Each structure stands twice: as structure tokens, then as C-alpha cells.
Chains A and B, each alone.
Chain A
Amino acid sequence: MSTPNDLRYTASHEWIRVEADGTLTIGITDHAQEALGDVVFLELPEAGRVVAKEEAIAVIESVKAASDIYAPVAGEILEANQAAVDAPESVNADAYAAWLFKLKPANAADVDGLLDAAGYQAAIG
């Protein structure tokens, strides 16, 4: 199970990469994909949707169960990853390569409130 140091995290198992232009790329963690098991369906938010922090905006379904995915910070959805929708198993293959959506934060400083790798590892015990 990996938790890369260059990413930020939420306690609800999203990872967040802060891009050079300040936009965020978001997926679910390796820990989360392993707990879910084989992922078979993704329902991702549409570009342009304005979302609140911790709003349930996507659904990931494994063979076992459906789980919500939350917006880590408030902002606007820029893009959803259609390749992941077409091949949901890519989330199991590499959770950090299979990003789910990109988000433009309403306030760049909100990112500072997210967990770092050590904080996330502590959160999942």
C-alpha cells in the first residue's frame, strides 16, 4: 500500500495533486481501492459543476458496494476522466495514475487544510 509524499489527502480517502497552475487533480487512495476491491463503475461530476467542500460529487462502485467520493475543497469541476469511466479497473491497477476529476479551487489557501502523507497514514492507522 503506497502513500506518495508529493500528494495531499483527505480522511475520506481522496488524494489531491496540486498542479503548477494551482488546479487540483483528484483520485482515491491505494488504501481505498484495496478496501473497495474490484472497481466496476464510476459516476463522475460534469465539467462546470460548482461544488462545496465535502460535498458527495462522485460514486465509485466495486463488486461489493457503492461509495461516495467527496470534493476535498470548494471549487469548480474542470474535467472528469472519461478513460477511468471506460476502464474502472484502472483504479485498482494504479490508484494514483487513474485520476477521477480536476477541480479549480475557489480559494487556493484551502489546500493548506488538507492532510499530508504522514497525516493520512496516521488517519488510516
Chain B
Amino acid sequence: MSQQTPLHATHVAAGARMVDFAGWDMPVNYGSQIEEHHAVRRDAGMFDVSHMLALDLEGADAKAFLRGLIANDVAKLVEPGKAIYSCMLNEQGGVIDDLIVYFLSDTTYRIVVNAGTADKDLAWMRQRLAATGTVATLTARRDLAMIAVQGPNARNKTWAAIPGAEAASTALKVFQAAAFGDIFIARTGYTGEDGFELTLPAEQAASTWAALSAAGVKPCGLGARDTLRLEAGMALYGNDMDETVSPLDAGLAWTVDFKDENRDFVGKAALVANGSRQQALGLILEDKGILRSHQKVFTAQGEGETSSGSFSPTLERSIALARLPLGVAAGDAVEVDIRGKRLKARVVKAPFVRNGKALV
């Protein structure tokens, strides 16, 4: 039996096409995925992301614990509400999950993890808490719902929908959050557009969703969320990296912080020993067809593989993220095996699209 978010009945009533996603019954679209995609690039759309899990970490040792747990360094977070994106690694340097950590105080952090990995993450974190003798409590907040409002008009429409929210969130920088009553407003997202991710009590989810809809925010499914993040060049856990892939090979070196030589974190030794063995780049298909994950890529430097691929509604052609041999560069012509045919593609640097504009 699939799990349901607090907005499940809302999606069903709206006629959404529901599919199983990581054990959750989620809307994949409400009609046309491409129209939902364009709504986010051009105006404002919203996604139910309540299947993701918020975790609250509180205690005297919280900061030291996180500095050892994840590859990015929470020590750089000093302004309340500021957040970082990071990978959480295993000892081999593979990615257990990617997550966002919000700094609330030196002893209080909120962590948001993926739905499909939530149970595994929680078990790993609890094991690390015990192994390190950390004085901190970790609380899974399944009592909360999450709504991502994204697009060039997302902030204005959110402010129109939620009276009083503007004053609390107008000064937020990108990757910063603030509390507004029961609502945690974060200027984050997974689309390459401006906007907010709202974390709020489950019982307020349906009324907030309705208010956003009344303010002209278009309900969007996970289908559009995937094409938006792909155009934005953002990695998807399970596709672009997993426990067997190093962040240094998955285009996520920018999230690994080696600056403090005295800081050890799980997986650091393996990353240092292995270095970068592959690189993540974008592909644009020149021939007709659609790129998908796990297709072979033939380059002058050897073979690589696509990790995510789809049709880009903004570019109106197919794009992919791929892990390719070192030495391959943007502009290179490569070939991709699609159902036994070798089709021509061009290597580009991701992102493909940001803030409504094509970059490739």
C-alpha cells in the first residue's frame, strides 16, 4: 500500500494522474506535463513534495556531528536560516543521499532528505549519532507537509496567497529560510527558477494549496519537476548518483568542502584517494530521438553513460546528463546508442536552462 501525502485527496479531486514514486502515491501530472513545465519557467507552479522528509537535529554537539556526517561544511553557515546543499557519503565515498541542511542556530539544524532514501538515511544518522557519542536528538517530522512554489512569479503569488508572508520572507537570499508562524519559508527549489519551498503543518497543507491555486499558481506533477531539474542541470539521486558513485564523478565536487584540513567526514579518505575518475556533463541530441538514462555514450576518450535523459520542453529537443571520461570537453561531438542506433549528440556544460533562459 502506497503512502499518501496530506495533499493526496486534493490531487485526486483535481484529476491528477497518480503513480507510485518511492512508495508514495504521487501526481505525475494534472493533464499536460509540458504545460506544467512552461508554467514554472514563465509564471508560477507548485509541487507537493511532502514525500520528502524533514529532520530536526538539536543538541550541543549538532554542529560537530554534521561536520563529520556530510561532505559540505556546515561551519560556513553563520546567518540564521542559511542553508547548504550536500551529499552524505559512505566510507567508500559513494552517495547515501543528497540533502539540504538549514542552519537555525549552533545547536539546531533542519535537514531535508529524499523520500526514497528517508528510512535508510535516518538509520545511518542514528547509527552515526551512537558511534560518535553525539549529544543531540534527531526528530523525523512526518507531521509536516512541503509545497514547492517555483517560477518567476512564485514569490509574488505566494505573498498574495499567504497574508503576512511577504514581510517575513522578502529579504531572504537564495538558499535562506525564515519562520513565519507555523510556516518555514525557504528560498530554495529544484527547477532552476526563483521561488520558495514551504514547510508547514500537515493540516494546513490543503488550505494553503487552495490559496496558492486561487492566487494563480498552477499545480504541477513530478513529471514536470523532473524535466525542470534536468534542464537546470540538477542531479537526481538514484539516477545521477548513488552509493556506488562519488560526488567528484557526478558533477558535485562543488558541494564537497576540503578547505578545513582538520575536518574529517565520512568518505573523505576515499575521495582523496580516488580523486576524480569521470566527469558529469550535459548532452544535446542533434539527431531525432529521446535520450534516456543508462545509454552508452561514445567519445574520442572512450565510453561513458547517460545518467538522466528526457525531452526538454524549453529547448524542444532531447537533453541528458552523462558521466563521461576525463578529457571530454564542451563542444565535443559524441554518439549515443539508442536502441542499437548511434545518434549524434553534442557535449555542453550544464545547466541547459536557468531563470527561463536557454544557456546552450
Contacts and interface: CB of A to CB of B under 8 A. Distances in A.
B339 A40 contact: no
A41 B33 CA distance: 15
B223 A64 contact: yes
Interface string A42-68: 010000000000000001010111100
Contacts of B227: 63
A66 B290 contact: yes
B313 interface: yes
Contacts of A38: 32-34, 311
B128 interface: no
B223 A41 contact: no
B28 to A, nearest CB: 7
A34 B19 CA distance: 13
Contacts of B33: 37-38, 63-64
Interface in B19-46: 28-29, 32-34
A61 B34 contact: no
Contact of B311 (A41, A43, A59): A41
B29 A40 contact: no
A63 B288 contact: no
Nearest to B288: A41
Contacts, number: 37
A40 B311 CA distance: 7
Nearest to A59: B339
Interface in B291-311: 292, 310-311
A63 B339 contact: no
A34 B17 CA distance: 9
B100 to A, nearest CB: 26
Nearest to A40: B311
The bracket for how many chain A residues form the interface is 10 to 19
Interface in B304-327: 310-311, 313, 318
B331 interface: no
A121 to B, nearest CB: 19
A43 B28 CA distance: 25
A37 B339 CA distance: 21
Interface in B249-292: 288-290, 292
Given A37-B223, A40-B311, A63 B289 contact: no
A38 B30 CA distance: 12
A124 to B, nearest CB: 15
Which one of A37, A61, A63, A65 has the greatest number of beta carbons of chain B within 10 Å? A63
Nearest to B32: A38
Interface of A: 34, 37-38, 40-41, 43, 59, 61, 63-66, 92
Interface of B: 17, 28-29, 32-34, 223, 227, 288-290, 292, 310-311, 313, 318, 339
Given A38-B33, A61-B311, 10 more contacts: A37-B17, A37-B223, A38-B32, A38-B311, A40-B290, A40-B311, A61-B290, A63-B33, A63-B310, A64-B33
**What 4 A-B pairs are tightest by C-beta distance, nearest first?**
A40-B311, A61-B290, A38-B34, A63-B311
